[in-house]
Amino acid sequence: MSCDLMESTYTELTDHLVSRLESLPNGTRYLVAISGIPGSGKTTLSAEVGTRVNACWKLKHSDTDNEPAIVVPMDGYHLTKAQLDTFEVCNYFLSWQTTKYLCIGKRGFTTFYCHGHSQVKNKEEAHHRRGAHWTFDSQGLLTLTTLLQSPITPETGTITAPSFDHAVGDPVEHDIIIHPYHKLVIMEGIYLHLSTPGSWMQIASSFDERWFVQVDLSVARERVAWRHVETGLVPTYELGLRRFDTNDAINAQFMLDHRMEATREIASMDERRL
């Protein structure tokens, strides 16, 4: 994507959301979910659009210092490494294609569903497959989207969400604070459009808009390999590629095979190492 087209895309998306904010009924929020395969650039897109919406809003509404847009990544809903250590497979099949996985951790008892025939046999495999949809606290994420859909009243307090500390490799509870004046919540994450029955489908249905970022797989593979190196997950680019092929690519294909229809398709920005 050329610089001119990139700028045009950002401008169009920003203007669109500002318009939605200005026509938003009192006491409500507008929820946008940005999804795409690993390396598609959804994090960069969401951050840039959120920043631009706030800047544009301040120009139009100089009487307030409150920024109406906030970006909430779904990364904070990763299961912790300690939770992955407790992973086990239960010999209980809901159907021919669904296996129930149980995990007990600091968020309490959570049930996860893994569609298909692959099984997690031990905690080592659970750690290796971290990033698969069943290694996220989908019920916790659904609780957040449900709260965000609730009417904003004079009694409404702040809502908190976890962030993800890449240096530690675990979520940080209550690190993101969503105030009542945050009327536009932009969430980004690979599984926000999942159509699989249960909590994921409910999550995807919670949003007013679903944006999907399109990217060539080879471009995403290179970006993610470098990202794995930069975050310390692997020591070399070659091992980053291997990690992508044995984990990220599997997650990407699952998401592509089970995603709800997007309300908007966006071409990935041609930036390095997104």
So what's the pLDDT on residue 4?
75
Q: Give the domain-ending residue among 133, 148, 173.
A: 133
Q: Give residue 110's pLDDT.
A: 43
Question: In sequence order, what are the residues at sequence separation of 6 or more whose Cβ sits closer than 8 angstroms to the Cβ of residue 151?
Answer: 27, 28
C-alpha span between 98 and 113 (Å, rounded):
7
98 pLDDT higher than 70: no
Q: Residue 7 burial by CB count (10 A; 0-12/13-18/19+): exposed, middle or buried?
A: exposed
Does 106 reside within a domain?
yes
170-184, 198-212, 258-272: least confident range: 258-272
Same domain, 140 and 121: no
126 and 21 in a common domain = no
Q: What is the mean pLDDT of residues 141-148?
A: 98
pLDDT the model gives residue 126? 86
Query: Mean pLDDT, to the nearest integer, of 216-244?
Result: 96
User: Per the domain annotation, does 151 fall within a domain?
Assistant: yes
Give domain status of residue 221, yes or no. yes
Same domain assignment for residues 88 and 156 = no
pLDDT tens, position by position, 163-173: 999 889 999 99
pLDDT for 120 equals 53
Residue 40 reports pLDDT greater than 80: yes
CA distance 112 to 105: 13
Residue 197 and residue 109 share a domain: no
**CB 69 within 8 Å of CB 186:** yes
Residues with Cβ within 8 Å of residue 163, at least 6 apart in sequence = 73, 75, 76, 171, 172, 175, 176
Looking at residues 35-48, what average pLDDT do you find?
A: 97
Decide if pLDDT at 116 tops 70: no
Residues 73 and 9 in one domain: yes
Average pLDDT, the chain: 87
Last residue of a domain, one of 133, 156, 172: 133
Average pLDDT over residues 186-209: 98
Same domain for 118 and 161, yes or no, is no
pLDDT greater at residue 226 or residue 5: 226
The answer to which of 110-119, 144-153, 187-196 has the lowest mean pLDDT is: 110-119
Residue 168 falls inside a structural domain = yes
Is the same domain home to 161 and 27?
Answer: yes
CATH of the domain at 186: 3.40.50.300
The pair of structure tokens assigned to 258 is 């089970």
> Is there a contact between 40 and 219 (Cβ–Cβ < 8 Å)?
no
Residue 22 domain-assigned (yes or no): yes
Q: Do 20 and 184 form a contact (C-beta atoms < 8 A)?
A: yes
Q: Which residue has the higher pLDDT, 140 or 106?
A: 140
The closest alpha carbon to 175, from 144, 204, 133, belongs to 144
Same domain, 168 and 230: yes
Domain hosting 85: range is 81-133
pLDDT score at 172: 98
Residue 232 domain-assigned? yes
Residue among 1, 30, 22, 26 nearest 183 (CA): 30
Which residue, of 118, 133, 148, is where some domain finishes? 133
The verdict on residue 273 lying in a domain is no
- 38 and 143 part of one domain: yes
Torsion angle of C-alpha atoms 86, 80, 225, 267, degrees rounded to 10: 120
pLDDT in tens, 245-255: 999 999 999 99
CA atoms within 13 A on the CB side of 50: 25
**220 shares its domain with 189:** yes
Is pLDDT larger for residue 105 or for residue 90? 90
Q: How many domains does the chain contain in total? A: 2
Same domain, 156 and 261: yes
Residue 69 pLDDT > 70: yes
Percent of the chain exceeding pLDDT 70 equals: 85
pLDDT at 104 over 70: no
